[in-house]
Amino acid sequence: MGTATAAHHYATINPYTGEVVREFESLDSTEVDRAVETAHEAFGSWRRRPIEDRAAIVRRAGELLAERRDRFARLATLEMGKLIGAAEEEVHLSARILVYYGDEGPGFAAPRPLSTDAGDAVLVSEPLGVLLGIEPWNYPLYQVVRFAGPNLVLGNTILLKHAGNCPQTALALEELFRDAGAPDGVYTNMFMETRDIERVLESPVVQGAALTGSDRAGASVAEIAGRNLKKTVLELGGSDPFIALDGERLERTVEAAAMGRLENMGQSCVASKRFIVLPELYDDFLTGMRDRFAALEPGDPADPETTCGPLSSEQAVKTLMEQIEDAVEKGATVVIGGGRPDLPGAFMEPTILTDVTPDMRAYHEELFGPVAVVYRVADDEAAIALANDTEFGLGGSVFASDLDRAQRVADRVDGGMVWINHPTASRPELPFGGIKRSGYGRELSDLGMQEFVNKKLICAVPPDAPIRGFAG
């Protein structure tokens, strides 16, 4: 069994076996600079192509992705341990996003007339230039295309720094856009070290950056970009509340809770993480969750019968175990799990904690894996207060048979997205993003084309009109 070397930051390491499958060299500083310049040169011609042509290439990329579903799904499973069924779903969603922007993007970027007595005013959408995308491993396809799709249609060019543990997926995405017809330099994969991010953002031709990752990484990129007056969009961590208000459809609520927590083995920014339950349904809810966690069978993520896959890495397991151990030492109760199964690979037992208090790491920190924290609260007011007692503000869910009651609670939950009677999900046509330490800006929907864009006013005044001054 191989071990990735320090010189090979980019390596496919199978989380199921720990085997180092393949390693890749990072770019040196000269190669980084060359990639930036090539992207800038490509922008000059790419922006001048009709938007319908750019959209057709993005749409074709979506069609090709759907055709290559098996290959991309297998890569995601190999490189980050995603259950094969979940990997296939990610491919499907990613293809839909590219097709969506191929179809709808030109309309989103269409000139918009403005009502004014100053003359004929119109707001036009122009691309900014070269953009840097810094994307994580947990959704190695979806995170990339939701950034790249709308910006390629708009006319920006993309430099993509992917996570170090999914290099083959990164290369396959670059090939995808090339095969769809994107010219050289329009979409460039960069096996780039973290230290080179500042170098890229300091380049005068790079106009912005989008990052999906931890709040610490987001703060670092925002600081560099801010010093260089570059726009950023950040989608960071989450500690999403799942509020259960009544037990009328308890079986469905518990099913949704388990799905919301265990999607991608809990390695999702918008996974349901804190389960806030009223007293009359608490015991039955907890029992239902425990039963569903107990039914999971660990195994090879490439086997469709496996229901519990590995985490992405040994480090991911280590971090979660430290958070659990801290909680238990300070009085938390382990309802189920709390350890590691007797298996090779980056496995962890699906875990439920109760009696978690504010002095514990599990109360404040994001638990990025199959660990649920369940709280009992007295009433709706207490549920809202606990839901908002976090530095994060990404997604959230409210479950109730009374939709008016659910709406009242949802209105007061801090977050960029709140779903009623469904775990937080993603659709091409719905905006995605958060507040507080979960970041800022939005991806997907029409808003996905409103971030890295120059909204330029052009106001045509008749040549014989009077000159009325600045405020006229």
Express each pLDDT in 251-280 by its tens digit.
Answer: 999 999 999 999 999 999 999 999 999 999
Reported confidence tier of residue 469, pLDDT bands at 50, 70, 90: confident
Query: Contact 79/126 with Cβ under 8 angstroms?
Result: no
Segment 127-135 shows an average pLDDT of 98
Instruction: Say if residue 256 is in the same domain as residue 394.
Output: yes
pLDDT above 70: percentage of residues in the chain? 98
Q: What is the pLDDT of residue 76?
A: 98
Q: Which of 5-14, 71-80, 241-250, 420-429 has the least mean pLDDT? A: 5-14
Q: What is the pLDDT of residue 429?
A: 98
- The last residue of one of the domains, among 391, 420, 449, is 420
Q: What is the pLDDT of residue 5?
A: 47
Give a yes or no: residue 466 inside a domain: no
Segment 16-23 shows an average pLDDT of 96
Burial 84-99 (b: 16+ CB within 10 A, else e): bebbbbbbbbbbbbbb
| 459 among known catalytic residues | no
How far is 437 from 215, CA to CA, in rounded Å? Answer: 6
Classify the phi-psi angles of 441: left when phi > 0, otherwise alpha if psi is within -120 to 50, otherwise beta.
left
Give a yes or no: residue 464 inside a domain: no
Q: What is the pLDDT of residue 470?
A: 85
Q: Is the dihedral angle over the CA atoms 237, 92, 428, 169 positive or is it negative?
A: positive
Instruction: Say if residue 383 is in the same domain as residue 323.
Output: yes
SS3 content of the chain, % helix, strand, coil (to 5): 40, 20, 40
Q: What is the pLDDT of residue 25?
A: 96
Give a yes or no: residue 465 inside a domain: no
Instruction: Say if residue 35 is in the same domain as residue 173.
Output: yes
| 235 among known catalytic residues | yes
Instruction: Say if residue 259 is in the same domain as residue 171.
Output: no
Q: State the residue range of the domain holding 368.
A: 240-420
Q: What is the pLDDT of residue 6?
A: 44
Q: What is the pLDDT of residue 471?
A: 80
Structure tokens, 276? 């806030």
Instruction: Say if residue 229 is in the same domain as residue 347.
Output: no
Give a yes or no: residue 470 inside a domain: no
Catalytic residue from among 269, 308, 365, 451 = 269
- The last residue of one of the domains, among 420, 449, 467, is 420
Catalytic residue from among 88, 235, 365, 443 = 235
Q: What is the pLDDT of residue 9?
A: 85
Instruction: Say if residue 391 is in the same domain as residue 443.
Output: no
Segment 223-236 shows an average pLDDT of 97
Instruction: Say if residue 97 is in the same domain as residue 111.
Output: yes
**Distances from the Cα of 358 to the Cα of 202, 327, 331, 333, 362, angstroms:** 40, 10, 11, 14, 8
Domain containing residue 442: CATH number: 3.40.605.10
Give a yes or no: residue 2 inside a domain: no
- Average pLDDT over the chain reads 96
Instruction: Say if residue 323 is in the same domain as residue 400.
Output: yes
Instruction: Say if residue 251 is in the same domain as residue 305.
Output: yes
Domain containing residue 414: CATH number: 3.40.309.10
Query: Contact 323/305 with Cβ under 8 angstroms?
Result: no
Instruction: Say if residue 256 is in the same domain as residue 353.
Output: yes
Per-residue pLDDT at 1 exceeds 70: no
Per-residue pLDDT at 7 exceeds 70: no
Q: What is the pLDDT of residue 8?
A: 57
For the chain, the domain total comes to 2
Per-residue pLDDT at 410 exceeds 80: yes
Q: Whose CA is closest to 117, among 462, 428, 397, 450? A: 462
Q: What is the pLDDT of residue 2?
A: 45
Give a yes or no: residue 29 inside a domain: yes
Give a yes or no: residue 163 inside a domain: yes
Instruction: Say if residue 217 is in the same domain as residue 244.
Output: no
Per-residue pLDDT at 3 exceeds 50: no
Give a yes or no: residue 131 inside a domain: yes
Q: What is the pLDDT of residue 4?
A: 47
The number of helices, as runs of H, and strands, as runs of E, in the chain is 14, 20
Instruction: Say if residue 201 is in the same domain as residue 110.
Output: yes
How far is 232 from 186, CA to CA, in rounded Å? Answer: 19
Radius of gyration (Cα) for the chain, nearest Å? 24
